[in-house]
Every structure is written in structure tokens, then in C-alpha cells.
Structure 1
Amino acid sequence: ETGFTMMTQQQLKFLNEFWYLSDVEIKGDPAIQQGLRFNLFHLLQSVGRDGRTNIAAKGLTGEGYEGHYFWDTETYILPFFLYNNPGISRKLLEFRYNTLGKAKERARQMSHPKGALFPWRTINGEECSTYFPGGTAQYHINADIAFAIKRYMEATADWDFLIQYGAEILFETARLWENLGDYIPQKDNQFCINGVTGPDEYTALVNNNCYTNLMARENLDYAYQVALWLKENTPQAYQRLAINIGLEESELAAWKKAAANMYIPYDPELKVHPQDDDFLNRAAWDFSRTPPENYPLLMHYHPLVIYRHQVCKQADLILALFLLGDQFSQEQKRRDFDFYEKITTHDSSLSTCIFSIVASEIGYVDKAYQYFLNTVRTDLDDIQGNTKDGIHAANMAGTWMCLVYGFAGMRAYDGALSFNPTLPELWQEYRFKITLRGSVLELGIDQTGVSFHLLQGNALTLSCYGKPVHLDSDCPTLFMKRS
């Protein structure tokens, strides 16, 4: 067959394969089900697949942000594809490798003699941000990309990618951090990173943004570990890369030292992590005197007014609690969550999904679901009143994260997969699939417990409610009662 009939069949086959692996089924709330599928479809149709294109903040639906790519890809969108279509995740990361040359040029423009600085917003690898306090100053994008590589490797064990592409990105971003930071005597000679902006765009050009320092530490440490792995397992590949980029042994030791001595802000009296060195010294924003029509704040107040106050546009330290959750106790997460929830406006669509995930983890069930509701139909219901400029792609991926990382409690620390599922009160059941190192796992959560079904691939060992779960061809199905 040819023509329209053939194209229709190809399209049906493609979509059937996508929905088989990626669909999230919910029993009990058709509006939520519709919102989820709407969001996942937009991610599918918007994402680049050739290593030369990425996924724009507005997908393919509007002119907002001029079609630019941001950190949204690695931090919010890549996890969805990583666990449903890892081949697309690889291509998204290859895009960063293919623009690495431009990132090195940008680092030199910013007076860094070594390393690479990825652009805050781009299409072809060049920095397109025109407002440096909220753009180029967001150095954390380097660490976000490095963290995405770590996530990708843990989920796929794609050593070919690491050798060909990933290692060089890790080494060049680690070089940048080591050059950017300094050992400050007034901070007990700890490694400090000054003059940057974290994810929260209502606070700019600060010293020691907590999220940035935590993620930079991850970047430095992972680059060091990968260098050791390459030297031991593929010494010829390591030598070729070292020669190609002029990497010296002393640099590895410098990365290790910087990571080990990274300064992490903490206030012992409040027992919270300040967003940066001066965050607690700022006057609190007076929310009681801010009328509803004055949100988002950035549309009604000059940036300097906002910068002088203790107010957050979006998840910042709270995002670190999610991404690096194994580095914080549950009690510490609750204290930080309680502190930042009061002063966060969620004027960014990147925020509510992260608050939902962390709320789920610390037992704030009602809050988690409310934040999820504010996420899942953002564009279908035009909640922020700006969908005319295009959909919010990162928020759409955040919907999937709310369900899988939030309600299902999935975590993958150092490659060890675990679940701690809960069931929202209004639902009877929800189901989804995860692709991990070539195996496909289906989970079903209902009022009685959690079912696991290994649909294809090699044996998997994981944990649920802290108990081990092993699935293989002889025992592909297991049911566990709710904890």
C-alpha cells in the first residue's frame, strides 16, 4: 500500500508503540486522565530526535521564548523519556555534546580559561539570553546537564554513550566549576561559588546558592568518578580524550578536593538551608498587601524590588530536596519545605510539580494532590492565562514526575530503584510502565497494594516499602500489600 493509507498505518503503529510504553492509566478521575494524556502527547510531538534539535520550552505550539531550549530539558523533560523511550533521552544529551564547542567558546567569553559553560537559552548552542542576572548567571545549567548524564547512565548502562559523549561533557563542566569557585578564608576555606543565580528567578546574583553548590558538588564528584572508571576499564579511550582536551592528572585531584570541600549554607538556629548567603537577611515579602491581580510579581514589580525581598518564584532548594533526596533526612526535608512553602509564589510553571513530589515524600498527602491538580491541567484549563504563547512543556513532564516520583515514590539513587507508593483518595487505581536497562516493568497501585509485572527483558531487583523485590522470567509477577 502507498499514499495516505500507508502513512496512516505507520502513524498508528508509531502511536500504539508510544502509548504501550508511556501511558499512565488512572481509574477514578477522567479529567486527570485527559490532562495526563494531553501532556504526554505534546511531549512526544515536540521532542527532537536527531541530536541536533532539542525540545523548546513551548514545544511546537507558540512563540513564547522564541523556540529556545532551557534547563527544562534535562531537569524536567528528560526523566519522562528516560524511563519510557531512552533512545530519545540519548539524543537530547547528544544535542549538548554537539553544542559543546559553543559552550567552550562561551566559557572563554566569560573569562574562564578552561571548561564549558552551556547557554541558559539557545537553539544552536549560542547564548540567547539578553538579561544576564536571570540568564547567563544561572550557571547551574552545567550541573543540571551533568546530573542528567548520571541519571541516564544509571537507567541504561550505556557505556558507549559515556565514552563517546558523556565523559567529555562531564570533564568540561567540572573544569568550569573548579575555575568558577574559590576557597574562602571567611568560610573556613570551604569551596564557594559566588555571583550566580539559582533556579529561583526572584533572587539573582547571589553568593553560594544552595542548589547550585549542591549540584556543582555532584558534577565535580561524578566527573572524578567517571575519570577513574575510564582509566580502569577503557584506558585507551581515557588517554585519547585526555590528550584531545588537554586534561591533566592534577585536574582530577582538584575536582575531588572542590567537591569534598563544597560550602553548603545552613542556619543552625532556624534549622533550614538558606537559599544563599544573604537570603535570611532580606526583608520578607508582604503577601498580605499583595493583591491577587499583582501576580505574577515579575509583571508588576521591578526586578530590583523583588530581589530585595525574601520571596521565591519557584522551587529552588526544594528542587534539591527532590533530586538529591538521599542527602537529607525526612525531618530536614519537612523543615525546609515548611519554610519555603510560605514564601513561594509558584509564578513559574516549573514549581508546583516539584512541591507536589516533595510533599508526597514527607507525608503531606493533601498538599501533594493539590499541587498536582495545579500542574496536570495547566494548559488545558489555561491556569496561568498565558497558554496563548504556547504550552508549558516542562510542566507537562512534571505531571508525569508528580505521579511516578510523587505518588508512586520512585527513586533511583546510585542506580538502586525503589518505590514507596501511595494512592490518592479519589482514585481507585493507577498504572504505568518503566523501562530500565532494556527491561520493561509495569506497576499497578490500588487500594489493596502494589503489583509488579516484568513484561520483557532481564531480571530486575528493586525495593518497595523498604522490602526487596526480585522479578525474572521464572517469577515475573509479584504483589505487595500497602505498607
Structure 2
Amino acid sequence: MNQDYIQPNNWSIIEEGFDAERVKSSESIFSIGNGAMGQRANFEEQYSGSTFQGSYIAGVYYPDKTRVGWWKNGYPEYFAKVLNAPNWIGINVTVNGEALDLATCKEVRNFRRELNMQEGWLSRTFEVTLQNGIALKVDAKRFLSIDMDEVGVIQYHVTALNSAADITFEPYLDAGITNEDSNWDDKFWNTLSVTSEGSQAFILSHTMKTKFHVCTAMQTELSLNGKVLNETPSVSKSEHNISFSHTAKVAKGETLTMTKFGGYTVDRNHDKNDLVSVAQKTLAKAAALGFDQMLAQQKEAWAEIWKMSDITIDGDVKAQQGIRFNIMQLNHTYLGKDARLNIGPKGFTGEKYGGSTYWDTEAYCIPFYMATKDQKVARNLLEYRYHHLEKAIENAEKLGFKNGAALYPMVTMNGEECHNEWEITFEEIHRNGAIAFAIFNYHRFTGDFSYISEKGLEVLIAIARFWKQRATFSTLRNKYVILGVTGPNEYENNINNNFYTNYIAQWCLNYTLETISKMKEGYAADLIRVIKKVKLTEEEMSDWDQVANNMYYPYSEEHDVYLQQDGFLDKELITVKDLPKSERPINQKWSWDRILRSPYIKQADTLQGFYFFEDQFSTEELERHFDFYEPFTVHESSLSPCVHSIQAAKLGRMEQAYQFYLRTSRLDLDDYNHEVEEGLHITSMAGTWMSIVEGFGGMRVIDNKLSFEPKIPEQWEAYSFKINFRNQILKISVSKNETSFELEGDKSMTILINGKEISVKPQEVLTV
């Protein structure tokens, strides 16, 4: 049974009623972020029940020493982790000497939590009766500023309902935090100083090993019934903690309010000796604006984000809520302002996967950022990999590759491989292909070749060198084979000739050769510079061509399909529908040995190749492969349903496409995988966007033009989305009977609709 407590709403995520069993799930779902920092939706006041405390700073990590039973050559030394950062949100509340704690109070009534997606804030309201009989109403609202991304703001109101009370607010900073996820229970942070000045407090600390210096800061303001109380709080300090204590007599019906400004200044952005002074000024500026003005600016900033990235769905509230939740969380995680950052699979919502960069960015996220933001944002994501090229070459050297061959890491913070499961670290090499594909995809979409000529070609050559060396010539088959790999389907390890891996390897070699050939015409100077720099020869390119032209693919004449890998038909081919429900999900119910011997597919594998390289296969071939592989797919990866949704829509199977869409869009809201308390699936949320735009909208880029084959699920009345294509913004609206196009700007655009060329004129609505 999936969870179903989130109320359906077009623009908000709403939880009604307090249930201690779902606190950790809600802490994930109601997470907030602004691209520079993020936090789980932990309560501000003390909570002694089960909770997963989490605040995170973009780009600040710790190299947690690898823990494996048996060391193998090439193993990464550490697993990089985004750290649980010092906590600035805490406000302990005491009423007549008793702590406000939802785990211990007598009664909680009218509990309501809301994540307002349209305006970018989180609120929580409830009424409570404490053990001492005092009844209170609490109303808290907070957000992380998009405009001033080093600051967040909390406004916390407490109203005395049934009698007068002495209420104490104790806002604090706490640097004595630990990670839930730690290999050796290392101490991750070292506190350097704990200081205060007036209504401001600061904790200066640095990470162990990586030595990131961070100042965690707060400024507070107390008011009664809206009137500021200029009292001086008492200050309490310990080695890792500082708190202010404010007490006020509150009559029945009166409201005491704590406004708390907090956040981080980091030596990634400032001189480490200036962190406190920068924090002082930043907090003072935020406090001068005040809560209401900052909230007004937050609403404007989110209105600007939604103007371009919103997808509207009429007639299906759960589908609408799902896509907006996905788009919001993608923007919480990455806004494209800082080229040094990337997108972790859990974003700022948990610690699983270490918050590092995976191939998810290139395969799933880049299309979303290309189409909903300025193309510079997508280019930043490509440049992130270019800046890590030297490290990718080092990673390959550690595994025995030579001559500038690069293997990009499965997981990284700084370009070094830091994933420590051998079957993924050494074998899931298809990630190299996704990085090359992203370069191709960026050029195809934006028309900007300058990235390739300036930087991308070097990456492509290094990847081509890897594939040439990784392929083995089989005299038995008279073909090149690729042995000992794990494909996207991680439920099969150390297999030979994974179709997707072999196909993307061949494609990378061909694409690199084509790119070099293209550069001879218009970019000769860049080509000469790169060839000289990497010492590329004609002989080497001829070797690439030979491998590409003689790549082996396992094929079944009986089923008329490419096999996922050698030996797939040796498995006991029982489809997923014949698996007892009690044995799902198999990754939680079965031994790994049993999973590896089964035919079950964690995520689109062969079909991932058909998704990337759709134009190289006929629709009939896609249909055959979809019908063969989908029945064996358990979709226990968050990255699986979106690909299947897009392909089902292409095949006209709209009910199936719709069900896959719901699964990807509400994966976390409905907790399909029963793991949402660990954090959200951020990178697959970009796949949800693709399900609508590429799936139902049928958007492709063909011959430098946008192409659409629009379809609509029968559950929907209409839907719309916008695309920023080569600095022209096109709005597409699809209803049951027609599709309309609106173009901003002042020049026309030629697009394809169901294969027919049509010209869209600016400021006119074209209806088809």
C-alpha cells in the first residue's frame, strides 16, 4: 500500500493531522532549498520523537574513508558525502517551565503543514495542550531566499489560548551535529569559535580533511502582538552551541513572535577570514528588509521561475500536483548560478548517494535545464565535466588505461571516483557514454557548437580512447566485445556484451569521428589546437573506426530483438505480473544472489538505448523491444518509469504512458518505493518533466527544428508547457481536439507538427 496522506492540491503540498509515524517521510517531502543550501522540514521546536535532522550546503563535503571487507586495486579511497551542516533553524519553546514537544504533549489538534509551491515557502500550524494544561496555537512559516541565497527566514508565532503564560523562546545554532550516514562515525566538523554580538550569533567551523570553512549565523527579533520588544536576551554558550533566551509574560489571547534570520557564509564564495563579517552584513540586510518584504521578494522570484518552467494540467489534480512538486524540487536543488555545482540524486533532502554527481545529470537533468532556463545553465553542467577531465583520465589510469583515455566517475564531488561497490565503480562504464551524449544533445538543442570546439572535443576524444581500449577483439566472433560490465540495469552484474553499453560505445566512437570531420570545415584552428594538445593521430582514429564498425550485439532470431546481454535467454523468463505481490520490491525481499539470476530489470536498459537513439530504430523495432522487455521490468529505480512513459506514448499506448507518468511524478508523494524518509529522488524528477514534454507532447529536435506529435491522456482536459529553444520561447497548449502554439519575441519560427512544417508567427496563436 502506498502512502496517501498528502492532500490533492494544484499549488500546494498539504498534510493534515499529526502522525508521529510519518514525521520522517514528511521531513523529506516538505524539504526546501535555494540552490546554495537546503534543509529537511525538521520542526523548529524540540522534538523527542523519531526524526532525521538535515541541513546541507551546496558543494561542502567530506571524504568518508571507504569501508569494504576486501580491498581491490583501483578501489576509491573514500566515499564523498554532502555533510549534515550546523543547524540554524532551532527555536526551543518553554511554557511555564514545560518544553513544547509534539512527542510528549497531552494533545495535538488541527495540525497542518503546507509547502506552497507557487510562492516558495513552508508553513506549519497546530494547536496543542501541554501536560501542564496550557493550550497554545503555533503558526510557523519559513523559506530559503532565492534572491539572497545565504539567508533563510523563520517567523514563529505562539498564541496563549486558555490562560496567561510565561513563554520562553530559545533560538540557537548547533554545530555539534552528526551525519545519519557515516562509514566510521568520524567527526566531520571542527568548531573554531562561538561568538555573539547584540542580536546576532555566529559559529565558525570547518570540515575535517576537506577544510571547508563555514560561518553559521543567526539574528533574532522578538515581538508581542506585532510590537517589537527591545529586550536584551541572555546568552548561553557551549563548545558547539550558542543560544539566546527571551522570556515574556503573555496574556490569554496574546501572540508572542520570534523572527529568526539564519544561514551560512562559506569560503567557497568569500575569504575564510571574512566569513563572520560577511554574515553580519548579510543578516543585517535581511533584518532591515524584514520578514514581510523578504517574503514578497520570494514570491516574485518564484513567479519568475514558474513563468518559464510551469506545466499546467487541467482535469487531474494529482497529476498537476505531481509535476509542480517535481519542478519545484529541481529548482530547490540547482538553479544554475554556480558552475562548480551539480545535481545530487537526493538534492538537499537526505544523505543517501552522498549528494554527489551521477550520470543522472547528463541523461535526465540537462534536457529540463536546457528548455526551462537560459542555455548557459546547461552549458555550466557540461563545463563541470570538462573541468574534471584530468581527474577522469587519472581515474582511468588507476584501472590500467593509457594514452589519455578517460573514465568519468560513477559518483563524484571533485572529479575523483568515490563510489565503492566494485560492480558499479568498475563496471557501470556506460556513464561515459551519457556524458558524450549530453554534449551531442546540447548542440542538437541549442545549436551552440562553440562548447564542442572550445572544450567538448577534448572530452569526446578522451572518452573515445577509453572505449577503444575497453573493447576486446573476439576471434571467436570476429567482432569487438565489451566484457565484465553492469548496464543501467543494476540487477545484473559482471555480464558480457550489455546491448546498451556496446551501443553507446559504438555511438561515442562514431560521434567523435563525425565531430572531428565537421571541425575540419569551420573550426580548423580549434581542431589543430586540440589534436596537438592531446597528440591524436590518423592511425588512432582509424582504430576507433574499426572498433565502431565491428561491434558485437547479442541478438535473438526467435524473438527478433537485441538481447540485453549474452545469456539473457538462459534465465527463467517469468514476467513481473506472475511475481507474488508479497515478494515486491525484490530489492527489499530477495537475496542479491537470487536477484542476479532472475530476469528482472531494475530500470530501462536496452530500452534506454532506444530512448537515446530513437532515430536509429524504426517504430516497429521499438514496439518489439518494448513488448519483450517491459514485462520483465520491476521499475525499482526511480529513473525507469519516465523512459517507459515516453516510449509508451510514442507507441500510442496512452493508458500505459499515463500510469508510468503518475508513477514517476508521484514517486515520492505516494512513496512507491517505501523509502521516502531517506530523501527525495531529485534527478528522476527531471524525467517526469520529460514524460510530459517528450512523451505526451512528442517534442523532439529534427533537422534543427522543434518537432511535436502531441497526444493527451484521457484523464486530462488539457495541458501546456513552455520551451526556450535557441532563445525563442514557445508555449504549447494541448487539448482533446487541438494543439495551439504561441511564440514570444519578434521573429517567426518553423516547427514540425506530426511531420508537417508549419510557421509560427510571434504574438499570434496558431491552432492545429
- Please give the TM-score of this superposition, normalised by the length of structure 2: 0.60
Residue number in structure 1 paired with 2:321 = 34
What amino acid is aligned across from residue 596 of structure 2 in structure 1?
Y
Per the TM alignment, residue 433 of structure 1 is displaced from its structure 2 partner at its CA by: 0.7
The corresponding residue for 2:424 is 134
Q: In the alignment, what sits opposite 1:76?
A: 364
> 2:344 touches 2:683 (CA, 8 Å); kept in 1?
no
**CA positional deviation for 1:120:** 0.8
Deviation at 1:50, TM superposition (A): 2.0
- The answer for the alignment partner of 2:548 in structure 1 is 259
Question: Per-residue deviation at 1:476?
Answer: 4.9
Moved more, 418-427 or 8-17: 8-17
| Residue matched to 2:630 | 341
State the distance in 2 between where 1:81 and 1:293 align: 39
Q: Does 1:396 align with 2:685?
A: yes
Deviation at 1:119, TM superposition (A): 0.7
Code of the residue aligned with 1:123 in structure 2: it is: M
1:407 Cα deviation (Å)? 0.7
Matches within 5 A, 1:463-474: 463-473=752-762
What residue in structure 1 maps to residue 330 of structure 2?
43
| Alpha-carbon separation, structure 2, partners of 1:376 and 1:342 | 21
Q: How does 1:160-171 map to 2 (within 5 A)?
A: 160-171=450-461
| Structure 1 segment 404-483 matched on structure 2, within 5 A | 404-413=693-702, 415-456=704-745, 458-473=747-762, 476-480=764-768
Hey, what does 2:666 align to over in structure 1? 377
Matched, 1:67 2:355: yes
Q: Secondary structure at the match of 1:199?
A: coil
Kept after mapping to 1: 8 A contact 2:576/2:600? no
Larger mean Cα displacement after TM superposition, 427-436 or 225-234: 225-234
Partner of 1:176: 466
Show structure 2 runs of 5+ residues with no match: 1-284
C-alpha displacement of 1:408: 0.9
Matches within 5 A, 1:348-387: 348-387=637-676
Which segment drifts farther, 346-355 or 289-298?
A: 289-298
Match of 1:15 among 290, 298, 302: 302
Q: More displaced, 286-295 or 75-84? A: 286-295
Offset at residue 448 of structure 1 (A):
1.8
Structure 1 residues 126 and 458: alpha-carbon distance in aligned structure 2, compared to 1, 3 A threshold: farther
**Residue 49 to residue 251, structure 1, CA distance change in 2 (3 Å):** farther
Task: Count the aligned residue pairs.
Answer: 478
Match of 2:223 in 1: none
- Give the AA of the match of 1:403: I
Task: Answer with 1 or 2: which has the greater Rg.
Answer: 2
Greater Cα offset, 154-163 or 364-373:
154-163
Q: Note the C-alpha offset of 1:359.
A: 0.7
Partner Cα distance (1:17, 1:165) in 2: 31
Residue 3 (structure 1) aligned with residue 289 (structure 2): yes
2:492 equivalent in structure 1: 203
Q: Which amino acid aligns with 1:144?
A: A
SS of equivalent residue, structure 1 residue 276 = coil
User: Do residues 107 (structure 1) and 393 (structure 2) align?
Assistant: no
The residue type equivalent to 1:152 in the other structure is Y
Distance (whole Å) between structure 1 residues aligned to residue 379 and residue 540 of structure 2: 27
Q: Which has the higher strand share?
A: 2
Give deviations 1:427-451, integer Å, cap 9, x for gaps.
1111101111111111111122111
Q: Could you tell me whether the CA contact under 8 Å between 2:576 and 2:633 is conserved in 1?
A: no
- TM superposition score normalised by structure 1: 0.94
| Equivalent residues of 1:143, 1:219 under 8 A apart | yes
What's 1:58 paired with? 346
Q: 1:329 aligns with which of 618, 622, 625?
A: 618
Q: In the TM superposition, what is the alpha-carbon distance from 1:72 to its structure 2 partner?
A: 0.9
Question: Is contact 1:196-1:204 (8 Å) kept?
Answer: yes
Q: Does the residue aligned with 2:706 lie in a helix, a strand or coil? A: strand
Q: Deviations over 1:177-207 (max 9, x none)?
A: 11111332322x3332221111000111121
Task: Verify the 8 A CA contact 1:51 1:93 in the aligned structure 2.
Answer: no
What are the superposed Cα offsets for residues 80-131 of structure 1, whole Å, 9 maximum, x if unpaired?
1111112221111111111111110011111111310011111121112111
**1:413/1:121 CA distance change after superposition, 3 Å:** farther
1:438–1:457 Cα contact (<8 Å) kept: no
Q: 2:407 & 2:746 partners in 1: Cα distance?
A: 38
Using a 3 Å threshold, how does the CA distance of structure 1 residues 432 and 109 change in structure 2: closer, same or farther? Answer: same
Alignment check: 8 A CA contact 2:489 2:604 kept? yes
What is the deviation of 1:15? 2.2
Aligned in 2, Cα 1:245/1:14: closer, same or farther, shift over 3 Å? farther
**1:243 aligned to 2:532?**
yes
Report the Cα distance in structure 2 between the residues aligned to 1:357 and 1:275, rounded to whole angstroms: 20
Residue equivalent to 1:117: 407
Give the distance between the partners of 2:577 and 2:651, measured in 1 at CA.
Answer: 28
Say which SS state the counterpart of residue 486 (structure 2) adopts: coil
How far apart are 1:296 and its partner, in Å? 2.6
* Paired residue type of 1:206: I
Q: Distance in 1 between matches of 2:577 and 2:645?
A: 24
Larger helix percent: 1
CA deviation vs aligned residue, 1:108-161 (integer Å, no higher than 9, x gap): 111111310011111121112111213331111011011011110111122332
Please give the alpha-carbon distance, in whole angstroms, between the structure 2 residues aligned to 1:6 and 1:173.
50
**Cα 1:289–1:441 shift into 2, 3 Å:** closer
| Local SS of the residue matching 2:476 | helix
The aligned residue for residue 144 of structure 1 is 434
- Check 1:472–1:274 CA distance in 2 against 1; reply closer, same or farther (3 A cut): same
Q: Deviations over 1:300-325 (max 9, x none)?
A: 33323222222211111112222211
The structure 1 residue matched to 2:312, chosen from 7, 11, 25, is 25
Per-residue deviation at 1:290? Answer: 4.7
For 1:225, give the aligned amino acid: E
Percent identity, aligned pairs only? 38
**Higher RCO (CA 8 Å, separation ≥ 6 residues):** 1
Q: Secondary structure at the match of 1:280?
A: helix
Paired residues of 1:119 and 1:136 also in contact (CA < 8 A): no
Contact 2:343 2:683 survives alignment (8 Å): no
Q: Distance in 2 between matches of 1:302 and 1:437?
A: 49
- Do the aligned residues in 2 keep the contact of 1:142 with 1:173 (CA within 8 Å)? yes
| Residues 49 and 92, structure 1, Cα contact 8 Å, conserved in 2 | no
Q: Cα gap change, 1:344/1:258 in structure 2, threshold over 3 Å: closer, same or farther?
A: same
- Which of 514, 525, 528 aligns to 1:225? It is 514
Distance 1:261 1:415, change over 3 A: farther
Going from structure 1 to structure 2, the CA distance change for 1:478 and 1:300 (only over 3 Å counts) comes to: same
Secondary structure at the residue paired with 1:26?
strand
Structure 2 CA distance for partners of 1:271 and 1:231, relative to 1, 3 Å: same
**Distance in 2 between residues matched to 1:448 and 1:163, nearest whole Å:** 45
Letter in 1 for 2:754: Y
CA distance in 2, matches of 1:6, 1:91: 32
CA RMSD of aligned residues (A): 2.0
> What is the alpha-carbon distance in structure 1 between the residues aligned to residue 461 and residue 760 of structure 2?
37
- Stretch moving more, 221-230 or 406-415: 406-415
2:430·2:504 contact (CA, 8 Å) conserved in 1?
A: yes
- CA distance 1:191–1:10, shift in 2 (3 Å): farther
TM superposition shift of 1:289 = 7.6
Question: Which shows bigger deviation, 261-270 or 394-403?
Answer: 261-270
